[in-house]
Amino acid sequence: MAEPVVLLALALDAAIGWPDRLYRRLGHPVGGFARIIQSCERAWNRPALPPPLRRLLGVLTVVILIAIPVGMALAMQALLLKIFGSLAWIAEAVLAWPALAQRSLFDHVRPVAVALEAGDLPAARRAVAMIVGRDTAELDAAGVARAAIESLAESFCDGIAAPLFWLVVGGLPGIWAYKAINTADSLIGHREERWRAFGWAAARTDDLANLLPARIGAVIICLAGRGGWSTMWRDHGRHSSPNAGWTEAAMAGALHVRLAGLVVYDGVAHAKPWIGEGPPDATAADIRRALVIYVRACLLLGVTATAFAWRGW
């Protein structure tokens, strides 16, 4: 019965995403993970503690983060089966739906292209700042376009391919365990001194959880973009992440553009290796083409995931 859960969850996300009205009223489930992480970080990531102890406490934080959604999801599945019987899959799909981000990602990237097309660079910078961690105040139009495309490609794994993979493999517990891990990585899985020891477990667990989904996502992007294979194989290792480089290189190859280059974080410039070939100046038209590939990739991924679920992965 996994295949209708996958289909309905994807359909709900594609149709309505996570509406702003719902977000304002209820927030989002990952907000609960964030509060747990922040509480653990305040209590256990104290500078006075030695790094080995902070690393151990970081491992404990990840264990807690995984145990809570898995336990709640298992209990919810049992309750839904008892209440709804053979129709419990509908409720499971509704509970899985918020863990996907197809519509949300599209709705955040598209305004960047709209602003660039209108020649409104400040608005484009504000729009892209909603989806990237780099400094955006001084980005030129090409830098804004590259940032939007990179975020779209990387988030295709984090927001769609990986949650869907873990939904097929582990059902409701699997998808929410992944979201907890991914949230931890985004908040504490950094290399800066403050988080290096405490966030080590979050970063490594996230790397492991994305290992297969990132590579599957890259293949899907190449299929959807009708190319990009050679760039994917050649350039995926140029990214600092063992996983993000796969989908970014696949998108760069499919679009025939270059991504990365000089990026500024917290006022510090980082010269990242170029990913892909072609003109360095990405444009709003390239964002539009990336969104077309993204939509195709989401559809193809949905068909693939449903097929695996139907075969009883």
Q: What is the chain's mean pLDDT, rounded?
A: 92
The structure tokens listed for 64 are 């807690």
Q: Report how many domains make up the chain.
A: 1
Whether residue 313 has pLDDT greater than 60: no
pLDDT tens for each residue of 101-155:
999 999 999 999 999 999 999 999 999 999 998 888 889 999 999 999 999 999 9
Average pLDDT over residues 216-222: 97
Average pLDDT over residues 193-208: 94
Contacts of 191 (CB under 8 A, 6+ apart): none
Average pLDDT over residues 37-50: 94
Query: In terms of residue numbers, what domain contains 220?
Result: 2-310
